[in-house]
Structure 1
Amino acid sequence: MYPILFTIGGFQVTSFGVMIALSFLGGAWIVARALKRAGYDPEHAWDLSGFAAIGGILGAKIYYLILNLPDTIADPSGMILSRSGLVWYGGFIGGALAVLFRIRQLKIPVWPYADAVAPGLALGYAIGRVGCFLVGDDYGSPTSVPWAVAFPHGAPPSTAGNLRAFGENIPASIPDTQVLAVHPTQLYETGITLIVLAIVLALRPRLADRPGLLFFAWLAMAGVERFIVEIFRAKDDRFFGGISVAQLISIGLIGTALAFAAALQRRAAAVPARA
């Protein structure tokens, strides 16, 4: 774990912050290449990335504040100003709305640009999850698999007490202070998302004549990926037989992706020349 890379004048540069910055830069770079490949202005990638960053951070923070409403009410300023709380789904929703707003402002076609953004989202997410691993955040349940990782200085540390607070069934004989090895779910997400990225890039030439389908293919795969990884996550927001809030949102995203993909297919069949 390397939560703090270095300090400049009392300001700590965190590995998470650096990886988030790299995720936006890497995502914008691959989007720029995709736009150029499709015959659009690649400079729009950097413009849209800026809006995605602002909207994503705001959306992630708002989602976090709502998800932890009792703590937000008890200490609003502390919750708002804390460095924690960059929740992926909130960030995706906020970033998507900001990018859509900018696309409308620029009067550029939505679906071709959405297809160009898809590989950037996959790459950015894969990089960002490495940052989560480096600071010991969003880890999984206790396990004895050979690749298990302990986070003694995580956010929070993977102690028996913290895992019990997440709803994990830890034997009573294990003291709260004992650090346990857990599933490195952050790396699971990075690995699976890189596979998703490879699939998106492979599908791109095959779906080039049907704008929008590539984006929704990515969205469906991203939902499936998150649903699977949530099975191994240490979470305190499970209900309905162990289903987490993120899994419910994943199901919603998969359904949305399939519905929009079907609508685009119907529109293409009805107006083949326009498609």
Structure 2
Amino acid sequence: MYPNLYYFFKDVLGVEWEWARFLNSFGFFVALAFIISAIVLTKGLQRKEKQGFLQPFEEKRVFGKPATVGELLTNGLLGFVMGYKIIGAFMNAGSGVDPQAYIFSSQGSWGAGIFLALLFAGLKWYEKNKQKAAKPEERKVRIWPHERVGDITVMAAIFGFAGAKIFHNLENWDQFVADPIGSLVSFSGLTFYGGLICAAIAIIIYAKRKGISIRHLADAMGPTLMLAYALGRIGCQVAGDGDWGVPNAAYVSDSTGAVRLANAGEFQQALRSNTIYLQEEFGRGMKPENVPYATFKAPSFLPVWMVAYTYPHNVNSMGNKLADCAEDDHCNYLPLPVFPTPFYETVVCLLLFGVLLYYRSRIKLAGGLFCLYLVLNGAERFFVEKIRVNTKYESLPFQPTQAELISLGLVILGIVLYFVSKKKTSASK
């Protein structure tokens, strides 16, 4: 596992760049997912525009005005935060500073902060000064939907992250009550469906204000969201952020994190020997005999890690200490090999992305492709939850997880929306 890029560079290149500890692997893949998805969404919207389904929206804008005090202060503040925290973090790399604690502390580099504040404010002033006219002019401009992808991406990031944190803490209320501040600022603990729901609400409101057809925007978003999810799950797998599956009883591991086939009774013995880990993973009061697990031996054509993995050096430092690890942190492995569900979801969702692209030109109903996305995404997540470690609602029948309830709801919603849209389209003809 590579909890941050320091471990990747050390393993692959043999170099130890301390500054790379501040580059979280999960964050790297999430950022990559946003960039690639923004490109895919732009192409999808341009396709809709060429087909005549999406039109430009007129807005009034003033040209020729110099930079305002508010613009200079905003850019200066952004530059200061980036310099004070981000550059300050790299300047302190190697001094034993915990990256996450540093980001949320009052520590930083005043020199770098002031320098970037002046630089950002100066660049904004220079940009506006080049366009300054003797008499500012108000004009109407036509903005196409694909030109708003930047705004949509930023809103998806902000509201998606906020929603993911909120839904995670609702799902793990006991942990939130025990440490509310830590739960809110922690980089771990994100619920995809919470992010999807909150980001969707924000984008729908924005699209309505900008005259963008919701159904055609949704059709362009369907394949984009499926791809983004697949890429984001790579980050979960690489970093080992806790989104793994239940233990595979066909295997056991040793203190180096290596996995081998279990002999008769060895898995049960491993359960009894790791009660502290089990309570950390499944909650206090968890007894070895109640731990959920599945048994599956890898066929000869598959590597063992695809069905049983210990996530050595996982970013959450879950499990037991590795015997051969000399690092100060991220030295843990899972004593019970688990199913690597993030890997499964990446593979499946990439295939489903291809399915959505295949049906993109075959489904003629506006919004129909997005309905298919809802059904496919919901079904995929519902079934993978069967072998994932997740908090269950014990008070409800069948003890479902939050993700199972939402994914089932998405499947139903996708089917209902499809027939409602089809009925409305037929009635309007």
TM-score in terms of structure 1 length: 0.86
**Which residue of 1 is the match for residue 355 of structure 2?**
199
1:25-174 alignment, distance < 5 Å: 25-39=35-49, 40=54, 41=144, 42-136=146-240, 137-143=242-248, 144=250, 145=298, 146=304, 147=306, 148-156=308-316, 159=319
Once structures 1 and 2 are overlaid, which stretch shifts more, 230-239 or 22-31? 230-239
Name the count of aligned residue pairs: 255
Describe the superposition over 1:58-109 as per-residue Cα deviations: whole angstroms up to 9, x where unpaired: 1001111222222222222111111112210111111111111211221211
How much has 1:9 moved relative to structure 2? 5.5
**Which residue of 2 is the match for residue 169 of structure 1?**
none
Asked if 1 retains the 8 angstrom alpha-carbon contact of 2:172 and 2:391, the reply is no
Q: Pick closer, same or farther for the CA change 1:11–1:197 going to 2, 3 Å.
A: same
1:250 aligned to which of 407, 418, 421: 407
TM-score in terms of structure 2 length: 0.56
The aligned amino acid for 2:389 is A
The aligned amino acid for 1:222 is N
Corresponding position: 1:222 with 2:377? yes
**Which residue of 2 is the match for residue 173 of structure 1?**
none
Q: What is the distance in 2 between the residues matched to 1:60 and 1:250?
A: 15
Once structures 1 and 2 are overlaid, which stretch shifts more, 93-102 or 64-73? 64-73
Q: What is the distance in 1 between the residues matched to 2:152 and 2:42?
A: 10
How much has 1:16 moved relative to structure 2? 0.1
Asked if 2 retains the 8 angstrom alpha-carbon contact of 1:32 and 1:46, the reply is no
Q: What is the distance in 2 between the residues matched to 1:125 and 1:185?
A: 13
The aligned amino acid for 2:47 is R
How much has 1:156 moved relative to structure 2? 4.3
> Rg: which structure is higher?
2
2:335 aligned to which of 179, 182, 187: 179
Asked if 2 retains the 8 angstrom alpha-carbon contact of 1:19 and 1:131, the reply is yes
Question: Which 5+ residue runs of structure 2 have no aligned equivalent?
Answer: 7-16, 55-143, 251-297, 299-303, 321-332
Q: What is the distance in 2 between the residues matched to 1:131 and 1:238?
A: 27
How much has 1:45 moved relative to structure 2? 2.2
Q: What is the distance in 2 between the residues matched to 1:35 and 1:249?
A: 28
How much has 1:257 moved relative to structure 2? 1.0
How much has 1:199 moved relative to structure 2? 0.9
Q: What is the distance in 2 between the residues matched to 1:242 and 1:70?
A: 17
How much has 1:159 moved relative to structure 2? 3.9
How much has 1:223 moved relative to structure 2? 0.2
Describe the superposition over 1:212-255 as per-residue Cα deviations: whole angstroms up to 9, x where unpaired: 11111101100000011111112232543353221111111111
Asked if 2 retains the 8 angstrom alpha-carbon contact of 1:158 and 1:179, the reply is no
Q: What is the distance in 2 between the residues matched to 1:158 and 1:224?
A: 29
Q: Pick closer, same or farther for the CA change 1:52–1:8 going to 2, 3 Å.
A: farther
Q: What is the distance in 2 between the residues matched to 1:192 and 1:78?
A: 33
2:427 aligned to which of 266, 270, 273: 270
| 3-state secondary structure, aligned to 1:181 | coil
